[in-house]
């Protein structure tokens, strides 16, 4: 991990990871995991940036910009087609960090329309909609 104290990213100042509560050991594990994904051919490269409390504590680029190169630059631009999942995930994890949402809570606690969710159960040649809880009880 390079010293980033002289850099600024998107107007955010940089700091050492531990100054903003990041673990250098965990960041090394993250980097190693991404390196394994690149080595396995699942992705040509990765560009990572982690900020906390308005400061950037981790920036790392690995691998290639695209399968045929060049190396991943620090200022790579990516086209991301569907942003719904990443935006909702960031919002949800922010609520989890704030203690306002528990990942173990049922979805219906926040979206009542999901209280009576039904699932399809295939039995031989028939297909039946049953309440989700009824299905999970029958499998245990």
Q: Is 23 noted as a catalytic residue in this protein?
A: no
What is the Cα–Cα distance from 19 to 85, expressed in whole angstroms? 30
From the candidates 23, 47, 82, 136, which is the catalytic residue? 82
What is the Cα–Cα distance from 126 to 110, expressed in whole angstroms? 33
According to DSSP, the residues that pair with 50 across neighbouring strands are: 58
End-to-end CA distance of the chain: 48
Mapped onto helix, strand or coil, the DSSP state of residue 91 is: helix
Q: Give catalytic residues, as residue numbers.
A: 82
């Amino acid at each position: 991990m390079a010293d980033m104290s002289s850099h600024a990213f998107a107007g955010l100042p940089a700091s050492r990871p531990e100054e903003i509560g990041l673990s250098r050991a965990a960041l090394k594990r993250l980097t190693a995991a991404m390196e394994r994904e690149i080595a396995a051919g699942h992705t040509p490269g990765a560009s990572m940036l982690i900020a906390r409390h308005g400061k950037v504590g981790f920036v790392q680029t690995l691998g290639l910009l695209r399968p045929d190169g060049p190396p991943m630059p620090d200022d790579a631009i990516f086209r991301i087609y569907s942003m719904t999942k990443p935006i909702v995930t960031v919002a949800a994890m922010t609520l989890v960090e704030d203690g306002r949402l528990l990942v173990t809570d049922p979805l219906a606690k926040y979206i009542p329309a999901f209280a009576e969710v039904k699932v399809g159960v295939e039995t031989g040649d028939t297909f039946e909609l049953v309440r989700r809880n009824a299905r999970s009880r029958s499998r245990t």
